[in-house]
Amino acid sequence: MKIIVTKDQKELAVEAWQVMRSVLLQKEDAVLGLATGSTPIGLYDEMVADHLKNGTSYRRVRAVNLDEYVGLSPQNDQSYRYFMKKHLFDRIDIDPESTFIEDGLATDAEAECRRYDAVLSRLPRDIQLLGIGANGHIAFNEPGTPFDLTTHVVDLTQNTIQMNARFFEKESDVPRRAFTMGPKSIMDAKKILLLAVGQNKAQAVAAAVQGPVTPDLPASILQRHPDCILIADEAAASLLKKDL
Ligand code: F6R
């Protein structure tokens, strides 16, 4: 795994944009695997700023997202579809028809998971962007998730519910279940860009990069990916051992 440590979150966004940019430069019709959460917002701002300034076009780009809460409609301002529109899709020239995310309102969860797997097979990702949970989760794959899962429905852990409560009015409003790409789906991307910001991610980052590869720390599977880049700010990288 290639590791880049940045001074702060701003510098991290600029570095992440360099990686994303190189993918876009190689392929006008790249397939981008995207993530929600607070970590990628700076990168999305960089993409928008570049689009406005330099005219980089997303007209032929396709985007597939990691996960979506069960039960939330795209219009719900806490849905991940809404997040993506607000932070990226509505600010660039991507065709809305080329943006894919699980349907939070799907009535047949199993059928929705298989539908999404088919979308992922049809659109092999050139890059998959990831954040990491303080417990080492990637997407909504919580500790203990088997590595061979593709898209599935998860019951969120109390830890994740508490972490995500900051985006809702009250903790009881946080959905208890979510659709998520599985570890196997994530690993199928040609390149992976893992971003981590802040001291509260330091332990998970160190375990993911330098600990044993185990489903107990879902992000540790990334050690097996042939082209994975970690960009972490100094705080998130603070527990990485330098002499390994
Ligand atoms: C988001 C996602 C999550 C987040 C992770 C970190 O689509 O799947 O795994 O990447 O929870 O969240 P932030 O960036 O808010 O710290």
Identify whether 238 is part of a domain.
no
Total domains in the fold of the chain: 1
Tokens of 232: 């972490």
Region of 131 please: left (phi>0), alpha (psi -120 to 50) or beta: beta
Which listed residue (15, 46, 87, 137) is catalytic?
137
Report CA(84)–ligand 1 centroid distance (Å).
13
Identify whether 116 is part of a domain.
yes
pLDDT at 159: 81
pLDDT at 243: 67
Report CA(127)–ligand 1 centroid distance (Å).
17
* pTM of the full structure: 0.96
243 labelled catalytic:
no
Identify whether 207 is part of a domain.
no
pLDDT at 163: 83
**pLDDT, tens only, 113-154:** 999 999 999 999 999 999 999 999 999 999 999 999 999 999
Identify whether 69 is part of a domain.
yes
User: What's the CATH code of the domain at 69?
Assistant: 3.40.50.1360
Low-confidence ranges of the chain (pLDDT < 50): none
Residue nearest to atom 3 of ligand 1 (CA): 139
Identify whether 137 is part of a domain.
yes
Residue nearest to atom 9 of ligand 1 (CA): 139
Tokens of 214: 């185990």
pLDDT at 167: 85
Residue nearest to atom 13 of ligand 1 (CA): 37
CA distance 6 to 201: 14
pLDDT at 244: 60
Identify whether 215 is part of a domain.
no
Residue 156 is part of which domain span?
A: 2-196+225-230
